[in-house]
Amino acid sequence: MCTPPDNDLGYPYRADFVENTVAEKTYQLFSWAVFKVSCPDPQEYSEWTDRGRTRVSHDEFASYLRWAFERAGNAPKIANVSKLIPQADGWRLEAHTATTSANFGPYDGVVVSGPGGARPNPLTHAEGFYNGVNFWQSTKRIEGTLHRNPTGTIVVYGGGGTAAAILGWFARSGFEGYQIQSLTSQAMLYTRGNNFFERRLFTDADAWNRLSPSSRRAFVNRLNRGVVWDTMADQISRLERLSLAEGRVTRVERQRIGPAGSRERGLEVYFDAEKGPASISANLVIDATGFDEWWFRSLLPDDWRDKLEPTNKVERDRLRDGIQQDLSFGPGWTLPRLHVPMLADLVGPGTTNLLSLGDLADRILASYMLAPGGHA
Ligand SMILES: Cc1cc2nc3c(=O)[nH]c(=O)nc-3n(C[C@H](O)[C@H](O)[C@H](O)COP(=O)(O)OP(=O)(O)OC[C@H]3O[C@@H](n4cnc5c(N)ncnc54)[C@H](O)[C@@H]3O)c2cc1C
Protein backbone atom coordinates (compact mmCIF):
# COMPACT_ATOMS: atom_id res chain seq x y z
CA MET A 1 0.00 0.00 0.00
CA CYS A 2 1.18 3.52 -0.70
CA THR A 3 -0.48 5.04 2.36
CA PRO A 4 1.43 4.47 5.62
CA PRO A 5 -0.56 2.30 8.05
CA ASP A 6 -0.29 4.93 10.81
CA ASN A 7 -2.95 6.73 8.75
CA ASP A 8 -5.34 4.30 10.39
CA LEU A 9 -9.06 4.30 11.22
CA GLY A 10 -8.92 7.22 13.66
CA TYR A 11 -6.28 9.34 11.94
CA PRO A 12 -5.69 12.34 12.44
CA TYR A 13 -7.26 11.88 15.91
CA ARG A 14 -8.53 15.46 16.25
CA ALA A 15 -9.06 16.06 19.95
CA ASP A 16 -11.94 18.50 19.36
CA PHE A 17 -14.43 15.98 17.97
CA VAL A 18 -17.66 15.99 20.07
CA GLU A 19 -15.82 15.13 23.31
CA ASN A 20 -12.08 15.24 23.63
CA THR A 21 -12.01 11.65 24.93
CA VAL A 22 -13.18 10.23 21.61
CA ALA A 23 -9.80 10.56 19.89
CA GLU A 24 -8.01 9.03 22.87
CA LYS A 25 -10.41 6.10 23.15
CA THR A 26 -10.36 5.48 19.41
CA TYR A 27 -6.56 5.31 19.53
CA GLN A 28 -6.58 2.99 22.56
CA LEU A 29 -9.09 0.62 20.99
CA PHE A 30 -8.73 0.72 17.22
CA SER A 31 -5.34 2.09 16.18
CA TRP A 32 -2.85 0.34 13.94
CA ALA A 33 -0.31 0.41 16.81
CA VAL A 34 -2.68 -1.46 19.16
CA PHE A 35 -3.47 -3.95 16.38
CA LYS A 36 0.27 -4.63 16.00
CA VAL A 37 0.78 -4.91 19.77
CA SER A 38 -2.09 -7.37 20.09
CA CYS A 39 -0.76 -9.71 17.36
CA PRO A 40 0.14 -13.22 18.55
CA ASP A 41 3.82 -12.65 17.64
CA PRO A 42 5.25 -10.71 20.65
CA GLN A 43 7.82 -8.92 18.46
CA GLU A 44 5.46 -7.83 15.73
CA TYR A 45 5.15 -4.19 16.86
CA SER A 46 8.83 -3.66 17.65
CA GLU A 47 9.90 -5.35 14.43
CA TRP A 48 7.65 -3.10 12.34
CA THR A 49 9.01 -0.04 14.18
CA ASP A 50 12.67 -1.15 13.94
CA ARG A 51 12.25 -1.67 10.21
CA GLY A 52 11.35 2.00 9.94
CA ARG A 53 7.54 1.81 10.20
CA THR A 54 7.43 0.46 6.65
CA ARG A 55 4.42 0.50 4.33
CA VAL A 56 2.33 -2.68 4.50
CA SER A 57 0.53 -4.86 1.98
CA HIS A 58 -3.17 -4.44 1.22
CA ASP A 59 -3.67 -7.87 2.82
CA GLU A 60 -2.16 -6.71 6.12
CA PHE A 61 -4.23 -3.54 6.15
CA ALA A 62 -7.33 -5.63 5.42
CA SER A 63 -6.50 -7.84 8.45
CA TYR A 64 -6.31 -4.68 10.56
CA LEU A 65 -9.73 -3.51 9.34
CA ARG A 66 -11.23 -6.95 10.02
CA TRP A 67 -9.72 -6.95 13.54
CA ALA A 68 -11.19 -3.49 14.26
CA PHE A 69 -14.63 -4.49 12.97
CA GLU A 70 -14.66 -7.59 15.15
CA ARG A 71 -13.39 -5.63 18.16
CA ALA A 72 -16.20 -3.12 17.74
CA GLY A 73 -18.75 -5.95 17.67
CA ASN A 74 -19.87 -4.43 14.41
CA ALA A 75 -20.83 -7.39 12.24
CA PRO A 76 -21.62 -6.17 8.74
CA LYS A 77 -24.71 -7.49 6.98
CA ILE A 78 -23.54 -8.92 3.68
CA ALA A 79 -26.12 -8.02 1.04
CA ASN A 80 -26.28 -6.21 -2.26
CA VAL A 81 -28.26 -2.97 -2.03
CA SER A 82 -30.38 -2.70 -5.17
CA LYS A 83 -32.55 0.34 -4.33
CA LEU A 84 -32.49 3.41 -2.11
CA ILE A 85 -36.12 4.30 -1.46
CA PRO A 86 -36.88 7.79 -0.09
CA GLN A 87 -39.75 7.93 2.41
CA ALA A 88 -41.14 10.54 4.81
CA ASP A 89 -39.03 9.12 7.69
CA GLY A 90 -35.77 8.75 5.73
CA TRP A 91 -34.27 6.10 3.49
CA ARG A 92 -35.33 2.51 3.15
CA LEU A 93 -32.95 0.10 1.48
CA GLU A 94 -33.90 -2.82 -0.70
CA ALA A 95 -31.15 -5.43 -0.58
CA HIS A 96 -30.68 -9.03 -1.60
CA THR A 97 -28.32 -11.94 -1.11
CA ALA A 98 -28.05 -14.95 -3.42
CA THR A 99 -31.12 -16.48 -1.80
CA THR A 100 -33.15 -13.78 -0.08
CA SER A 101 -34.19 -10.18 -0.41
CA ALA A 102 -35.20 -7.80 2.35
CA ASN A 103 -35.88 -4.17 3.20
CA PHE A 104 -33.90 -2.27 5.81
CA GLY A 105 -34.52 1.08 7.48
CA PRO A 106 -35.62 3.72 8.01
CA TYR A 107 -32.26 5.53 8.11
CA ASP A 108 -31.66 9.27 8.52
CA GLY A 109 -28.78 9.12 6.08
CA VAL A 110 -26.88 6.76 3.83
CA VAL A 111 -23.18 6.83 2.93
CA VAL A 112 -22.38 5.52 -0.53
CA SER A 113 -18.72 4.49 -0.50
CA GLY A 114 -16.37 3.04 -3.04
CA PRO A 115 -14.91 4.35 -6.28
CA GLY A 116 -17.62 2.54 -8.28
CA GLY A 117 -17.36 -0.06 -11.01
CA ALA A 118 -15.28 0.22 -14.13
CA ARG A 119 -16.86 2.45 -16.77
CA PRO A 120 -18.86 0.32 -19.23
CA ASN A 121 -16.89 -0.86 -22.26
CA PRO A 122 -18.34 -3.16 -24.96
CA LEU A 123 -15.16 -5.28 -24.85
CA THR A 124 -15.30 -5.88 -21.11
CA HIS A 125 -15.74 -9.64 -21.59
CA ALA A 126 -13.43 -10.07 -24.60
CA GLU A 127 -10.51 -12.44 -24.16
CA GLY A 128 -7.38 -10.53 -23.15
CA PHE A 129 -9.23 -7.32 -22.22
CA TYR A 130 -9.46 -6.29 -18.55
CA ASN A 131 -10.38 -3.22 -16.52
CA GLY A 132 -9.38 -1.82 -13.12
CA VAL A 133 -11.84 -4.18 -11.38
CA ASN A 134 -11.67 -7.55 -13.13
CA PHE A 135 -7.86 -7.36 -13.55
CA TRP A 136 -7.44 -8.08 -9.82
CA GLN A 137 -9.93 -10.95 -9.97
CA SER A 138 -8.09 -12.54 -12.91
CA THR A 139 -4.39 -12.35 -12.00
CA LYS A 140 -3.95 -16.16 -12.03
CA ARG A 141 -5.42 -16.35 -15.52
CA ILE A 142 -3.33 -13.39 -16.71
CA GLU A 143 -0.17 -15.05 -15.38
CA GLY A 144 -1.04 -18.18 -17.41
CA THR A 145 -1.60 -16.12 -20.60
CA LEU A 146 1.68 -14.25 -20.18
CA HIS A 147 3.74 -17.38 -19.48
CA ARG A 148 2.31 -18.98 -22.64
CA ASN A 149 3.11 -15.91 -24.75
CA PRO A 150 6.21 -14.11 -23.41
CA THR A 151 6.79 -12.12 -26.63
CA GLY A 152 3.38 -10.44 -26.84
CA THR A 153 2.65 -6.81 -26.06
CA ILE A 154 0.73 -5.59 -23.04
CA VAL A 155 -1.07 -2.22 -23.30
CA VAL A 156 -2.14 -0.39 -20.14
CA TYR A 157 -4.05 2.83 -20.74
CA GLY A 158 -4.66 5.46 -18.06
CA GLY A 159 -2.12 7.51 -16.10
CA GLY A 160 -3.26 7.51 -12.46
CA GLY A 161 -3.25 5.25 -9.42
CA THR A 162 -5.14 2.40 -11.11
CA ALA A 163 -2.61 2.17 -13.96
CA ALA A 164 0.29 2.49 -11.50
CA ALA A 165 -1.02 -0.32 -9.27
CA ILE A 166 -1.38 -2.58 -12.33
CA LEU A 167 2.09 -1.73 -13.70
CA GLY A 168 3.49 -2.31 -10.20
CA TRP A 169 1.90 -5.78 -10.19
CA PHE A 170 3.69 -6.69 -13.47
CA ALA A 171 6.99 -5.51 -11.94
CA ARG A 172 6.48 -7.57 -8.75
CA SER A 173 5.14 -10.70 -10.42
CA GLY A 174 8.09 -11.67 -12.62
CA PHE A 175 7.09 -9.86 -15.83
CA GLU A 176 9.70 -7.10 -15.71
CA GLY A 177 11.17 -8.24 -19.06
CA TYR A 178 7.83 -8.10 -20.93
CA GLN A 179 7.01 -5.52 -23.60
CA ILE A 180 4.57 -3.09 -21.98
CA GLN A 181 3.12 0.00 -23.60
CA SER A 182 1.58 2.60 -21.33
CA LEU A 183 -0.75 5.05 -23.09
CA THR A 184 -1.80 8.15 -21.20
CA SER A 185 -3.25 11.46 -22.24
CA GLN A 186 -0.43 13.25 -20.38
CA ALA A 187 2.55 11.16 -21.67
CA MET A 188 4.08 10.86 -18.22
CA LEU A 189 3.45 9.11 -14.91
CA TYR A 190 3.61 12.14 -12.61
CA THR A 191 4.61 11.22 -9.07
CA ARG A 192 3.64 12.46 -5.66
CA GLY A 193 6.01 12.25 -2.74
CA ASN A 194 5.42 12.19 0.93
CA ASN A 195 6.46 15.60 2.21
CA PHE A 196 5.05 17.40 5.25
CA PHE A 197 3.35 20.21 3.29
CA GLU A 198 1.39 17.82 1.08
CA ARG A 199 0.48 15.45 3.89
CA ARG A 200 -0.61 18.30 6.15
CA LEU A 201 -3.40 19.40 3.85
CA PHE A 202 -4.93 15.92 3.90
CA THR A 203 -5.31 16.08 7.67
CA ASP A 204 -5.62 19.76 8.63
CA ALA A 205 -9.18 20.75 7.75
CA ASP A 206 -8.65 24.36 8.87
CA ALA A 207 -5.64 24.85 6.59
CA TRP A 208 -7.64 23.30 3.75
CA ASN A 209 -10.62 25.58 4.35
CA ARG A 210 -8.37 28.64 4.15
CA LEU A 211 -7.41 27.78 0.54
CA SER A 212 -9.31 29.41 -2.30
CA PRO A 213 -11.49 27.12 -4.45
CA SER A 214 -8.99 27.38 -7.33
CA SER A 215 -6.05 26.39 -5.07
CA ARG A 216 -8.04 23.42 -3.78
CA ARG A 217 -8.78 22.33 -7.34
CA ALA A 218 -5.09 22.66 -8.27
CA PHE A 219 -4.07 20.60 -5.21
CA VAL A 220 -6.57 17.83 -5.95
CA ASN A 221 -5.56 17.69 -9.61
CA ARG A 222 -1.89 17.63 -8.73
CA LEU A 223 -2.01 15.11 -5.86
CA ASN A 224 -5.16 13.01 -6.12
CA ARG A 225 -5.86 12.51 -9.82
CA GLY A 226 -3.62 11.23 -12.58
CA VAL A 227 -0.72 10.88 -10.18
CA VAL A 228 1.39 7.98 -8.90
CA TRP A 229 2.98 7.57 -5.47
CA ASP A 230 6.78 7.62 -5.49
CA THR A 231 6.94 4.11 -3.95
CA MET A 232 4.89 2.79 -6.86
CA ALA A 233 7.03 4.70 -9.39
CA ASP A 234 10.11 2.93 -7.96
CA GLN A 235 8.50 -0.46 -8.58
CA ILE A 236 7.41 0.55 -12.08
CA SER A 237 10.93 1.67 -12.97
CA ARG A 238 11.98 -2.02 -12.71
CA LEU A 239 9.99 -2.74 -15.89
CA GLU A 240 12.81 -3.09 -18.44
CA ARG A 241 10.71 -2.75 -21.60
CA LEU A 242 8.08 -0.24 -20.57
CA SER A 243 7.42 2.60 -23.01
CA LEU A 244 5.31 5.60 -22.17
CA ALA A 245 3.46 7.28 -25.00
CA GLU A 246 0.95 10.08 -25.24
CA GLY A 247 -2.35 8.87 -26.56
CA ARG A 248 -6.04 9.06 -25.82
CA VAL A 249 -7.53 5.63 -26.57
CA THR A 250 -10.62 5.89 -28.78
CA ARG A 251 -11.49 2.21 -29.19
CA VAL A 252 -10.18 -1.34 -28.79
CA GLU A 253 -11.18 -4.07 -31.25
CA ARG A 254 -10.65 -7.80 -31.30
CA GLN A 255 -9.38 -8.69 -34.76
CA ARG A 256 -6.74 -10.49 -36.84
CA ILE A 257 -3.29 -9.19 -36.00
CA GLY A 258 0.24 -9.76 -37.27
CA PRO A 259 1.48 -9.90 -40.89
CA ALA A 260 -0.99 -10.11 -43.83
CA GLY A 261 -2.52 -13.56 -43.99
CA SER A 262 -1.84 -14.29 -40.33
CA ARG A 263 -4.66 -16.14 -38.57
CA GLU A 264 -3.62 -14.92 -35.16
CA ARG A 265 -6.31 -12.95 -33.33
CA GLY A 266 -5.60 -10.27 -30.81
CA LEU A 267 -6.59 -6.80 -29.72
CA GLU A 268 -5.97 -3.64 -31.70
CA VAL A 269 -5.85 -0.46 -29.61
CA TYR A 270 -6.71 2.74 -31.53
CA PHE A 271 -5.66 6.06 -30.07
CA ASP A 272 -5.31 9.75 -30.92
CA ALA A 273 -1.74 10.96 -30.61
CA GLU A 274 -0.08 14.33 -31.21
CA LYS A 275 0.72 13.35 -34.82
CA GLY A 276 -2.78 11.97 -35.52
CA PRO A 277 -4.62 8.66 -35.13
CA ALA A 278 -2.51 5.55 -34.56
CA SER A 279 -2.95 1.97 -33.38
CA ILE A 280 -0.98 -0.81 -31.69
CA SER A 281 -1.54 -4.58 -31.58
CA ALA A 282 -1.55 -6.33 -28.24
CA ASN A 283 -2.44 -9.65 -26.70
CA LEU A 284 -3.35 -8.13 -23.33
CA VAL A 285 -5.06 -4.75 -22.86
CA ILE A 286 -6.01 -3.15 -19.56
CA ASP A 287 -8.35 -0.17 -19.38
CA ALA A 288 -7.03 1.63 -16.27
CA THR A 289 -8.84 4.91 -16.84
CA GLY A 290 -10.63 4.88 -13.51
CA PHE A 291 -14.09 4.26 -12.22
CA ASP A 292 -17.64 5.57 -12.37
CA GLU A 293 -17.81 7.62 -9.17
CA TRP A 294 -21.54 8.31 -9.78
CA TRP A 295 -22.22 4.54 -9.68
CA PHE A 296 -24.92 4.93 -6.97
CA ARG A 297 -27.17 6.67 -9.54
CA SER A 298 -28.57 3.23 -10.45
CA LEU A 299 -29.93 2.81 -6.89
CA LEU A 300 -31.91 6.07 -6.91
CA PRO A 301 -35.55 6.66 -7.91
CA ASP A 302 -36.16 7.12 -11.66
CA ASP A 303 -36.41 10.93 -11.65
CA TRP A 304 -33.00 11.32 -9.94
CA ARG A 305 -31.46 8.60 -12.07
CA ASP A 306 -32.45 10.62 -15.15
CA LYS A 307 -31.25 13.91 -13.63
CA LEU A 308 -27.81 12.43 -12.97
CA GLU A 309 -27.28 10.95 -16.45
CA PRO A 310 -23.58 11.22 -17.46
CA THR A 311 -24.60 13.68 -20.19
CA ASN A 312 -26.15 16.03 -17.61
CA LYS A 313 -22.86 17.61 -16.62
CA VAL A 314 -24.49 20.85 -15.45
CA GLU A 315 -26.61 19.07 -12.82
CA ARG A 316 -23.69 16.84 -11.75
CA ASP A 317 -21.34 19.83 -11.39
CA ARG A 318 -23.97 21.86 -9.49
CA LEU A 319 -24.52 19.07 -6.96
CA ARG A 320 -20.81 18.33 -6.63
CA ASP A 321 -19.98 22.00 -6.01
CA GLY A 322 -22.70 22.14 -3.31
CA ILE A 323 -21.47 19.16 -1.24
CA GLN A 324 -21.59 20.11 2.46
CA GLN A 325 -18.96 19.73 5.22
CA ASP A 326 -20.68 16.46 6.25
CA LEU A 327 -20.04 15.21 2.70
CA SER A 328 -23.75 15.12 1.82
CA PHE A 329 -25.42 16.71 -1.20
CA GLY A 330 -26.62 20.25 -0.42
CA PRO A 331 -28.81 22.79 -2.25
CA GLY A 332 -31.09 21.28 -4.89
CA TRP A 333 -31.03 17.74 -3.38
CA THR A 334 -34.62 16.80 -2.59
CA LEU A 335 -34.10 13.27 -1.19
CA PRO A 336 -33.03 12.25 2.36
CA ARG A 337 -29.42 12.81 3.32
CA LEU A 338 -26.92 11.06 1.04
CA HIS A 339 -23.20 11.27 1.93
CA VAL A 340 -20.93 10.94 -1.09
CA PRO A 341 -17.27 10.98 0.07
CA MET A 342 -15.95 9.86 -3.30
CA LEU A 343 -17.26 13.06 -4.92
CA ALA A 344 -16.18 15.35 -2.09
CA ASP A 345 -12.45 15.91 -2.61
CA LEU A 346 -12.91 19.69 -2.83
CA VAL A 347 -14.46 19.62 0.68
CA GLY A 348 -11.48 17.61 1.95
CA PRO A 349 -8.82 15.87 -0.18
CA GLY A 350 -8.73 12.86 2.18
CA THR A 351 -12.34 11.90 1.46
CA THR A 352 -11.46 9.81 -1.61
CA ASN A 353 -8.57 7.79 -0.19
CA LEU A 354 -7.30 6.19 3.01
CA LEU A 355 -5.22 9.13 4.24
CA SER A 356 -7.55 10.52 6.91
CA LEU A 357 -10.26 7.97 7.66
CA GLY A 358 -10.85 9.46 11.13
CA ASP A 359 -11.61 12.87 9.65
CA LEU A 360 -13.93 11.25 7.11
CA ALA A 361 -15.87 9.51 9.91
CA ASP A 362 -15.91 12.66 12.10
CA ARG A 363 -17.35 14.77 9.30
CA ILE A 364 -20.25 12.39 8.75
CA LEU A 365 -20.94 11.39 12.36
CA ALA A 366 -20.68 14.88 13.87
CA SER A 367 -23.68 15.96 11.82
CA TYR A 368 -25.82 13.33 13.63
CA MET A 369 -24.35 13.93 17.09
CA LEU A 370 -25.23 17.53 17.86
CA ALA A 371 -25.02 17.60 21.64
CA PRO A 372 -27.65 19.45 23.76
CA GLY A 373 -25.03 22.10 24.59
CA GLY A 374 -25.06 23.08 20.92
CA HIS A 375 -21.57 21.94 19.99
CA ALA A 376 -21.02 19.23 17.43
C1 LIG B 1 -5.19 -1.40 -6.55
C2 LIG B 1 -5.57 -0.26 -5.65
C3 LIG B 1 -4.63 0.24 -4.77
C4 LIG B 1 -4.97 1.30 -3.89
N5 LIG B 1 -4.03 1.74 -3.01
C6 LIG B 1 -4.34 2.78 -2.19
C7 LIG B 1 -3.38 3.28 -1.27
O8 LIG B 1 -2.28 2.80 -1.17
N9 LIG B 1 -3.73 4.33 -0.48
C10 LIG B 1 -4.97 4.91 -0.57
O11 LIG B 1 -5.22 5.88 0.18
N12 LIG B 1 -5.91 4.44 -1.42
C13 LIG B 1 -5.61 3.40 -2.23
N14 LIG B 1 -6.55 2.93 -3.10
C15 LIG B 1 -7.87 3.54 -3.08
C16 LIG B 1 -8.65 2.93 -1.90
O17 LIG B 1 -8.73 1.54 -2.08
C18 LIG B 1 -10.02 3.53 -1.82
O19 LIG B 1 -9.88 4.90 -1.55
C20 LIG B 1 -10.81 2.88 -0.67
O21 LIG B 1 -10.86 1.49 -0.81
C22 LIG B 1 -12.19 3.42 -0.66
O23 LIG B 1 -12.87 2.76 0.38
P24 LIG B 1 -14.40 2.53 0.30
O25 LIG B 1 -14.85 1.80 1.50
O26 LIG B 1 -15.02 3.85 0.00
O27 LIG B 1 -14.58 1.66 -1.01
P28 LIG B 1 -14.21 0.14 -1.30
O29 LIG B 1 -13.04 -0.29 -0.51
O30 LIG B 1 -14.17 0.02 -2.80
O31 LIG B 1 -15.49 -0.61 -0.74
C32 LIG B 1 -16.77 -0.44 -1.34
C33 LIG B 1 -17.58 -1.65 -0.92
O34 LIG B 1 -18.94 -1.46 -1.28
C35 LIG B 1 -19.45 -2.68 -1.79
N36 LIG B 1 -20.60 -2.36 -2.65
C37 LIG B 1 -20.61 -1.79 -3.89
N38 LIG B 1 -21.90 -1.70 -4.36
C39 LIG B 1 -22.70 -2.20 -3.37
C40 LIG B 1 -24.11 -2.39 -3.25
N41 LIG B 1 -24.98 -2.01 -4.21
N42 LIG B 1 -24.58 -2.95 -2.09
C43 LIG B 1 -23.73 -3.33 -1.10
N44 LIG B 1 -22.39 -3.18 -1.17
C45 LIG B 1 -21.88 -2.63 -2.29
C46 LIG B 1 -18.28 -3.28 -2.56
O47 LIG B 1 -18.45 -4.67 -2.71
C48 LIG B 1 -17.12 -2.95 -1.63
O49 LIG B 1 -16.95 -3.93 -0.65
C50 LIG B 1 -6.26 1.86 -3.95
C51 LIG B 1 -7.22 1.35 -4.84
C52 LIG B 1 -6.87 0.29 -5.69
C53 LIG B 1 -7.91 -0.25 -6.65
Q: What is the pLDDT of residues 277-316, one digit of tens each?
A: 999 999 999 999 888 999 999 999 999 999 999 999 999 9
**Collapsed DSSP state (helix, strand, coil) of residue 179:** strand
pLDDT > 60? residue 86: yes
> 78 CA distance to ligand 1 centroid (A)?
16
User: In angstroms, what is the span from residue 4 Cα to ligand 1's centroid?
Assistant: 17
Measure 342 CA to ligand 1 centroid, in angstroms.
Answer: 10
Write the pLDDT tens digit of every residue in 19-60.
Answer: 678 899 999 999 999 999 998 888 889 999 998 888 899 999
Residue 72 dihedral angles phi and psi, to the nearest 5°: -80, -5
- Rounded to 5°, the CA angle 29-3-55 comes to 85
Ligand 1 pocket, residue 355 CB under 6 Å: yes
Out of 199, 353, 355, mutate this one to test ligand 1's pocket (max ligand atoms within 8 Å of CB): namely 353
The answer, yes or no, to whether residue 95 has pLDDT greater than 80, is yes
Model-level pTM? 0.88
Atom of ligand 1 nearest to the CA of 2: 8
Q: Where are the beta strands (DSSP E) in 99-221?
A: 101-107, 109-111, 129-131, 153-157, 179-184, 191-192
Q: Which atom of ligand 1 is nearest to the CA of 354?
A: 11
- Minimum CA distance residue for ligand 1 atom 23: 114
Query: How far apart, in whole angstroms, are the C-alpha atoms of residue 140 and residue 150?
Result: 15
My answer on whether omega of the bond before 5 falls inside 30° of 0, hence cis, is no
> pLDDT digits over 151-201, tens only?
889 999 988 888 999 999 999 999 999 999 999 887 777 777 778 888 888
Label residue 376 by pLDDT band (50, 70, 90). Answer: very low
CB-based contacts of 16-20 (< 8 A; 24+ apart in sequence): 17/362, 17/366, 18/365, 18/366, 18/369, 18/371, 18/375, 18/376
Indicate where the chain has its CATH 3.50.50.60 domain(s). 129-190+226-287
Residue 233 Cα to ligand 1 middle (Å): 21
Kindly tell me the sign of the dihedral angle through the C-alpha atoms of 104, 115, 357, 214.
negative
Q: Given this structure, which CATH class describes domain 129-190+226-287?
A: alpha beta
CB–CB of 344/330 below 8 Å? no
Question: 224 and 262 in contact (C-beta within 8 Å)?
Answer: no
pLDDT at 67: 95
Task: Provide the β-strand partners of residue 294.
Answer: none
Provide the percentage of residues in the chain whose pLDDT is more than 90. 60
Does 373 score more than 60 pLDDT?
A: no
Torsion of Cα atoms, 46 then 47 then 53 then 55, to 10° = -140
pLDDT digit string (tens) for 100-137?
999 999 999 999 998 888 887 888 788 899 999 999 99
- The pLDDT mean for the chain works out to 90
Strand partners, 272: 248, 277
How remote is the CA of residue 114 from the centroid of ligand 1, in Å?
Answer: 5
Cβ 81 under 6 angstroms from ligand 1 = yes
Decide: 38 in ligand 1 pocket, CB within 6 A.
no
In sequence order, which residues have a C-beta less than 8 Å from that of residue 336 and are 6 or more positions away? 86, 87, 90, 91, 107, 108, 109, 110
